[in-house]
A = this chain, B = another copy of it.
Amino acid sequence: MARLMNTAVEELKIKVCEANLKLAASGLIFHTFGNVSGADPQADLMAIKPSGVPYEKLKPEHIVVLAISSGEVIDGTLRPSSDTPTHLEIYRAFHGIGGVTHTHSLYATAWAQACKDIPAFGTTHADYCNGPILCTRELDDREIKNDYEVHTGKVIVERFKGLNPLDYPGVLVASHGPFTWGKDAMDSVHNAEILEYLARLASETLKISPGLNQIKQALLEKHFTRKHGPGAYYGQPKNK
């Protein structure tokens, strides 16, 4: 049992290190900004980048592993990312998620700073998100002063009440920046790239047509269901 757990921990550290290096190579981050975590929810494990370590020096042995349920460090000697409590809240509340990425990427952060949802202005957006990319409410002063990173996670979870987070690539935290998720760490990095492109595309669209409305509901659903769910016909059949 201990050996099995050990293997799961080591595999997760390797995958999370790779995903952090992929993020660093993506151009979405600047200096030490940003972090990626990966989870093995059945094993109650989350692995995350250590705080403030330059990406060019990052190795699997630097990755910190924690128990999702308790938040206790299981493996690693460095201090985990200061955003760790936010990642934990997301894994605890959203089922089916195996990776979370946080960046301060330019356009997604600009929308987050504007405290605005990114409207679905076209089919590129609809291919990835069944509605606007949502922005959380702002935290109140009490939430900022005590357990700030926990409350950041809680306003994310609150925003998806009654919604399926898997229909979205991620979320914008008001006055802060994007968190994205996916089936594993690498998939959450991919969604960080997608979200940045959608944010930039929406900004450029708004400059041409400042009062534009979201696309028709029928078009939104058509494109989302073309790629997602039982009727999807984009890409190759899965058994190919």
Q: Is the CB of A176 within 8 A of B123?
A: yes
Q: 1/0 per position for A149-179, CB-CB distance to B under 8 A?
A: 0000000000000000000000000011100
Q: Is the CB of B197 within 8 A of A203?
A: no
Q: Is the CB of A209 within 8 A of B114?
A: yes
Q: 1/0 per position for A170-209, CB-CB distance to B under 8 A?
A: 0000011100000000000010011001001101111111
Q: How far is the CA of A225 from the CA of B197 in the complex (A)?
A: 32
Q: Is the CB of A110 within 8 A of B201?
A: yes
Residues of B within 8 A of A141 (CB): 216, 218
Tally of chain A residues near chain B (CB < 8 A): 61
Given contacts A123-B177, A175-B215, 9 further A-B contacts (CB under 8 A): A31-B193, A78-B240, A106-B201, A109-B124, A113-B121, A113-B215, A116-B209, A145-B218, A145-B222
Residues of B within 8 A of A99 (CB): none
The A98-132 residues at the B interface (CB cut-off 8 A) are 104, 106-107, 109-116, 121-124
Q: Name the segment of A13-21, A37-45, A66-74, A228-236 touching the other chain.
A: A228-236
Q: How far is the CA of A50 from the CA of B197 in the complex (A)?
A: 23
Q: Is the CB of A234 within 8 A of B82?
A: yes
Q: Is the CB of A104 within 8 A of B116?
A: no
Q: Is A94 an interface residue (CB 8 A)?
A: no
Q: Is the CB of B113 within 8 A of A205?
A: yes
Q: Is A27 an interface residue (CB 8 A)?
A: no
Q: 6 closest pairs, A vs B, by CB?
A: A52-B235, A114-B209, A110-B204, A113-B122, A114-B208, A113-B205
Asked, given contacts A78-B240, A207-B203, A240-B78, whether A234 binds B114 with beta carbons under 8 Å apart, the answer is no
Residues of B within 8 A of A93 (CB): none
Asked, given contacts A116-B209, A144-B218, whether A203 binds B204 with beta carbons under 8 Å apart, the answer is yes
Q: Is A219 an interface residue (CB 8 A)?
A: yes
Residues of B within 8 A of A124 (CB): 33, 104, 109, 177
